[in-house]
Amino acid sequence: MSRLNGPARTNRPAKLIDVARHAGVSTGTVSNVLNHPDKVKEGTSARVMRSIEHLGFVRDTNASSLANGGSHDIGLVVIDLANSIFLDAARGAQSTARAAGLNLLMAGSENDFGVQSSNVDSFIGARVAGLLLAPMQDSSAQIQRLTKRHVPVVLVNYDPGTDHACSVIVDNDAAGYIAARHLIDLGRRRIAFVSVDWDLQPVEQRRHGIRRAVAETDGAVTLEEIVADDLEVGSGNAIARQVAARDAAERPDAVVAVTDNLAVGFIEQAADLGIDVPGDIAVMGTDDNTSAARCRLTLTTVTMQGRQLGAVAMELLMDEIRHGRDEHRHQRVVLTPQLVVQQSTVR
Amino acid sequence: MSRLNGPARTNRPAKLIDVARHAGVSTGTVSNVLNHPDKVKEGTSARVMRSIEHLGFVRDTNASSLANGGSHDIGLVVIDLANSIFLDAARGAQSTARAAGLNLLMAGSENDFGVQSSNVDSFIGARVAGLLLAPMQDSSAQIQRLTKRHVPVVLVNYDPGTDHACSVIVDNDAAGYIAARHLIDLGRRRIAFVSVDWDLQPVEQRRHGIRRAVAETDGAVTLEEIVADDLEVGSGNAIARQVAARDAAERPDAVVAVTDNLAVGFIEQAADLGIDVPGDIAVMGTDDNTSAARCRLTLTTVTMQGRQLGAVAMELLMDEIRHGRDEHRHQRVVLTPQLVVQQSTVR
């Protein structure tokens, strides 16, 4: 890629300082020509305008904000674009940012910690005014890099367990509890929780909530935990084959899958094997993922409050940008999820 | 927002040239210290490292690519994040970019041409190596700004009608044709097309395709065109109330809505008014929008090939970046949509 490695001069846009040097004036004078022309002598103004023309300097929102010292761009780095919670968060963050005259730029990390790291660095390089970070694991090193550059950061959908940064999370324990409670209220007595055995914060917390709801039944309801290979549709298919191979009496009468994609995979395969959903087995997800795979039934799930997640995170970030690190107090905001009942649990 | 308007120095990350000045060496020497330390005398190296430390210069992917003259960041500006075609395009573009070692940064335009313009400027300011632009209308001025800064641009889901830039589009005429053909094949004879009377390229083209399919029946099938206020759920609700108010014999037996959101709005309201979908009226969308509102039935629709749209656009952009404007030849790529049959047309 010769262009990517070519000489710096060819595609570098002219900056305010280039115009100042070319015209032989200070950057403040260039800024005045653009923002307060009345303060500048006519001859100087004309010289600056000729330099602007000559260098192809285009004044834009970004350039003019850089001229007065701050970017109007906010970065958002999310785990993956394939889970709609992050898209919803982006939408929430964007409308809040937009209302304040700020621009949101986004990057997805494709479930890869290295990609997340280079996304963070891209935004540092792009000189954003602040960053919203939805990390996949402990990201202290990246947060330190941001702090060193004085870029405020708010964590989204991840509890850092420290007060070094603001964070906005969804109550995943409540999500698990609400899901299991729904199935118990429907009269289901043998619940299976399908998830993975990785050390993922939301999975741990949802498992805890499900166990809590089942424990409250004093033994009237049993809980079986089934470990899938990953969180995707194919693994949901595999679990359905496993369950279908059992005697009917040994099967669960309800399945809570930790992701909607696992639930969709289970439903599609189970139906193909002659299991009636929701008649024989009621199935639900717990992450209200509109980006999940297509399903023959609409899916009962639990909302993850993505829009609020993004909107609240942006509010906290703007507070930190506005007041600076010394006057701003970090906060931890917890949002409550909601049940969405559809065809996969109630006919 | 004092921070946004504060002095330029406080949050500007140190650049390679700052390190070079502080250490009293050339930028080439700083680059060598970082990339080829063996080429640099030990005393010089130590001095540069002390300057790096002192200035808080953090070497990251972005900074190191800027050092050799090109950014590894690609920008993507889309009309709106609320239509999944653009998310799919982002995913396709991202995996293609990632495979080439490039980073994708995105921005949504909230259906606002002014927002689109500031997004383009933000990416110019962030010095991306190239831009994918999914515009909402003729964007020649923005394309000219990009060209002036030597930033290659590829148009996504919009046919510029010129050869000033590469473009990748979906065959919207085929989308309309496929939709109407499906309903005709199901035996439906009174089709209504629900859309808006705005001058939108995809709407015009889908209408044309639907008319073509109906014309082929030589009068066996009739086509009624219903104009909605906008493309959202509420307008779908309103059209359903309008249709339900007619005598049953005067109602269409099939509805093609130009967006999935219009279709969902129609289905939800029609069902509440006692119309059986798909029994009385088969209903479908034509933009396979997984970000559409929740519906009680799974929706028949037409895929918009979002992933390929993004992947092909990124390939074209990388070709232009690699070969430069003079050796690159602009192309126009047309993708073919596919039918997805679900509950809203076939029980």
Domains of chain B: 2-67 (1.10.260.40), 73-170+306-337 (3.40.50.2300), 172-302 (3.40.50.2300)
Q: Supply the pLDDT for residue A326.
A: 78
Q: Supply the pLDDT for residue A255.
A: 98
The pLDDT tens digits for B100-148 are 999 999 999 988 899 999 999 999 988 999 999 999 788 999 999 999 9
The pLDDT tens digits for B61-71 are 333 333 335 78
The pLDDT tens digits for B289-339 are 988 999 999 999 999 999 999 999 999 999 999 988 778 999 999 999 999
Among residues of chain A, what percentage have pLDDT more than 90? 67
Q: Token digits for B340? A: 């997805």
Burial of B141 (0-12, 13-18, 19+ CB in 10 A): exposed
Q: How many CB atoms lie within 10 A of CB A140?
A: 12
pLDDT exceeds 50 at position A48: yes
Q: Supply the pLDDT for residue A35.
A: 60
Q: Across residues A23-34, what is the average pLDDT? A: 73
Phi, psi (deg, nearest 5) at residue B149: -90, 10
Which pLDDT band, with edges at 50, 70 and 90, does B44 fall under? confident
> Which of residues 316 through 345 in chain A touch B, CB cutoff 8 A?
318, 321-324, 340, 342-343
Nearest CA in chain B to A84: B291
The pLDDT tens digits for B172-218 are 999 999 999 999 999 999 999 999 998 888 899 999 999 999 999 99
Which pLDDT band, with edges at 50, 70 and 90, does A53 fall under? low
Quote the strand ranges of A116-239, DSSP E.
130-133, 153-156, 166-170, 190-195, 222-227
pLDDT exceeds 90 at position A264: yes
Q: State the alpha helices, DSSP H only, in chain B.
A: 2-5, 16-23, 27-35, 42-55, 61-67, 84-99, 113-125, 140-148, 172-185, 201-215, 233-244, 260-272, 306-327
Q: Supply the pLDDT for residue A71.
A: 84
Question: Which positions in chain A touch B105 (Cβ < 8 Å)?
Answer: 105-107, 119, 122-123, 126
Which value does ipTM take for this structure? 0.72
Q: Which residue has the higher pLDDT, B1 or A119?
A: A119
Q: Across residues B81-88, what is the average pLDDT? A: 88
CA distance B197 to chain A (A): 27
Q: Across residues A292-302, what is the average pLDDT? A: 95
Which pLDDT band, with edges at 50, 70 and 90, does B14 fall under? low
Q: Across residues A306-333, what is the average pLDDT? A: 92
pLDDT exceeds 50 at position A227: yes
Which pLDDT band, with edges at 50, 70 and 90, does B169 fall under? very high
**How many contacts, defined by CB atoms under 8 Å, are there between A and B?**
239
How far apart are the C-alpha atoms of A319 and A328, rounded to whole Å?
7
> Which of residues 206 through 265 in chain A touch B, CB cutoff 8 A?
none
Question: Which positions in chain B touch A294 (Cβ < 8 Å)?
Answer: 298, 340, 342
Question: Which positions in chain B touch A17 (Cβ < 8 Å)?
Answer: none
> Which of residues 64 through 93 in chain A touch B, CB cutoff 8 A?
65-66, 68-73, 81-82, 84, 87, 90-91
pLDDT exceeds 70 at position B53: no
3-state secondary structure of B124: helix
Q: Supply the pLDDT for residue B3.
A: 35
Q: Supply the pLDDT for residue B26.
A: 72
pLDDT exceeds 90 at position A161: no
Sheet containing strand B73-78, edge to edge, reads A332-335, A166-170, A153-156, A130-133, A73-78, A103-108, B103-108, B73-78, B130-133, B153-156, B166-170, B332-335
3-state secondary structure of B259: coil
Q: Which of A161-165, B43-47, B123-127, B131-135 has the highest mean pLDDT?
A: B131-135
Burial of B313 (0-12, 13-18, 19+ CB in 10 A): buried
Nearest CA in chain A to B81: A91
Q: Token digits for B27? A: 């930028």
The pLDDT tens digits for B250-266 are 999 999 999 999 999 99
CA distance A130 to chain B (A): 10
Q: Supply the pLDDT for residue B54.
A: 65
Q: Supply the pLDDT for residue B37.
A: 62
Q: Supply the pLDDT for residue B283.
A: 98
